[in-house]
């Protein structure tokens, strides 16, 4: 079946009790048991919930994965995935992941003896030297947040697998509509469903999708043991969101390309970061592994003062953290999403004080461009 058919139907069977076409919000903490040791397959709502199960089937199918697990946030999904490693194991972490992912390694996992090295996963040739005998995982985000660096997923997966390590890919920016990492050899896909999968800026959630049964069993066990599950209401919202994922992503992509082209020509913009531009250093890799470029665009204004003027002057674009909703959001990575990344590391990556990030929404693109034009002016 095609992507949209899967998005609308996978996990979305009519409700067995009433025939309701939309999966109901099973707002319950427990289930009546038929007798001691006999139940309908549902025991306690941390362990299983029908609304969450429907969503888990749905997104797993979209990612081409056998197993899927929905979490209370993207960070909860990432944290649970990282419980596949133990103290003494080593992880290679991409140097431009979401700030919260870096913080999880730097401030929390390091306390439990998990070793990690921060590496440039876009430079596959240089990556080889960082593998150690205890390297268990490579954690990649592509395109990265906010400088849109693209990693060759097939090449990194091949390298990691040859050294006995697995690859995790944060696929939040592309969504499975534009990029299906498992098809490129990646072992585990993580998402912040808060972004494009839900798409309407009204739910925080996360997801893990994978094929390996043993790893899936462990993730399920940790999900139940630690309990950072997605609520029934949020599961319903994300399930509703994925039904329109294809049409939304097409619209984000169309607007994203036009906004990037506009910014590239603007005299007050020093540099534009968008994998769809032929000037992007990994444009060819992006074309190879993505079927679109999406709505995330960052640009350099030259200084904090200039960035502040733009951010204070926009009227239609909303100044705020997060991304992937239907409305255009604009943000300042250095002080907002990436404040947890040390200043020196930020500078190396190009996350300067003058960098502005836009999550291009699906409003009429002329209105978005007019707003950016007046703000830059
Ligand atoms: C790429 C990426 N991964 C993970 C996260 C964390 O997700 P959440 O905020 O849902 O915990 C974010 C949040 O902005 C993100 O942008």
**Complete DSSP assignment for 49-88:** -HHHHHHHHHHHHHHT-SEEEEESSHHHHHHHHGGGS-TT
Among residues 52, 136, 195, 346, which one is catalytic?
195
Q: How far is the CA of 98 from the centre of ligand 1 (A)?
A: 6
**Residue 359 CB-half CA count within 13 A:** 27
Q: What is the mean pLDDT of the chain?
A: 97
Judge if pTM exceeds 0.95.
Answer: yes
Distance CA 279, CA 272 (A): 9
Task: Tell whether ligand 1 has an atom less than 6 A from the beta carbon of residue 73.
Answer: yes
Q: Is 195 a catalytic residue?
A: yes
Residues 277-305 have pLDDT tens digits of: 999 999 999 999 999 999 999 999 999 99
- Which is nearest to 99 in space by CA: 252, 293, 311, 322? 322
Q: What is the pLDDT of residue 171?
A: 98
How would residue 342 be classed by pLDDT, with cut points 50, 70 and 90? confident
Give 70's strand partners. 207
- Regarding the beta carbon of 231 and ligand 1, being less than 6 Å apart is answered no
pLDDT band at 150 (very low <50, low <70, confident <90, very high): very high
Res 180: pLDDT: 98
Percent with pLDDT over 70 in the chain: 100
pLDDT score recorded for residue 209: 99
Categorize the per-residue pLDDT at 244 as very low, low, confident or very high, splitting at 50, 70 and 90.
very high
Per-residue pLDDT at 341: 80
In this model, does residue 340 exceed pLDDT 90? no
- Is 46 catalytic? The answer is yes
From 98, 177, 273, 274, the catalytic residue: 98
Quick one: CA dihedral 247, 249, 252, 256, positive or negative?
Answer: negative
Does the structure show a pLDDT above 90 at 343?
Answer: no
- % of the chain exceeding 90 in pLDDT: 95
Q: What's the pLDDT tens digit per position in 87-103?
A: 999 999 999 898 899 99
In the reported structure, the alpha carbon of residue 201 is separated from the centroid of ligand 1 by a whole-number distance in angstroms of 13
């Amino acid at each position: 079946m095609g992507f949209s058919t899967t998005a609308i139907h996978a996990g979305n069977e009519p409700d067995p009790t009433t025939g309701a076409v939309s999966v109901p919000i099973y707002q319950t903490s427990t289930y009546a048991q038929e007798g001691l040791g006999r139940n309908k397959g549902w025991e306690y709502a941390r362990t299983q919930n029908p609304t969450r199960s429907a969503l888990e089937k749905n997104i797993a199918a979209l990612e081409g994965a056998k197993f899927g697990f929905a979490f209370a946030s993207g960070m909860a999904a990432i944290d649970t995935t990282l419980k596949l490693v133990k103290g003494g194991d080593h992880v290679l972490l991409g140097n431009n992941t979401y700030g919260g992912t870096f913080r999880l390694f730097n401030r929390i996992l390091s306390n439990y003896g998990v070793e990690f090295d921060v590496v440039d996963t876009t430079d596959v040739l240089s990556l080889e030297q960082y593998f150690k005998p205890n390297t268990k995982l490579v954690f990649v985000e592509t395109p990265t947040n906010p400088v849109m660096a693209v990693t060759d997923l097939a090449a990194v997966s091949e390298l990691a697998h040859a050294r006995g390590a697995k690859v995790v890919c944060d696929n939040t920016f592309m969504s499975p509509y534009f990029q299906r990492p498992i098809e490129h050899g990646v072992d585990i896909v993580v998402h912040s469903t808060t972004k494009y999968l839900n798409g309407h800026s009204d739910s925080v959630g996360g997801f893990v999708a994978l094929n390996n049964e043993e790893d899936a069993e462990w993730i399920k066990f940790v999900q139940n043991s630690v309990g950072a599950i997605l609520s029934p209401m949020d599961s319903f919202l994300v399930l509703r969101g994925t039904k329109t994922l294809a049409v939304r992503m097409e619209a984000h992509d169309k607007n994203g390309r036009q906004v990037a082209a506009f910014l590239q020509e603007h005299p007050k913009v020093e540099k534009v970061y968008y994998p769809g531009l032929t000037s992007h250093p990994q444009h060819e890799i992006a074309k190879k592994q993505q079927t679109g470029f999406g709505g995330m665009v960052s640009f350099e204004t030259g200084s904090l003062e200039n960035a502040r003027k733009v951010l204070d002057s926009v009227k239609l674009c909303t100044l705020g953290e997060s991304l992937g909703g239907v409305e255009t959001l604009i943000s300042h990575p250095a002080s907002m999403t990436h404040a947890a990344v040390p200043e020196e590391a930020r500078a190396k990556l190009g996350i300067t004080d003058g960098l502005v990030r836009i999550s291009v929404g699906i409003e009429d693109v002329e209105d978005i461009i007019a707003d950016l034009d007046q703000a830059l002016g």
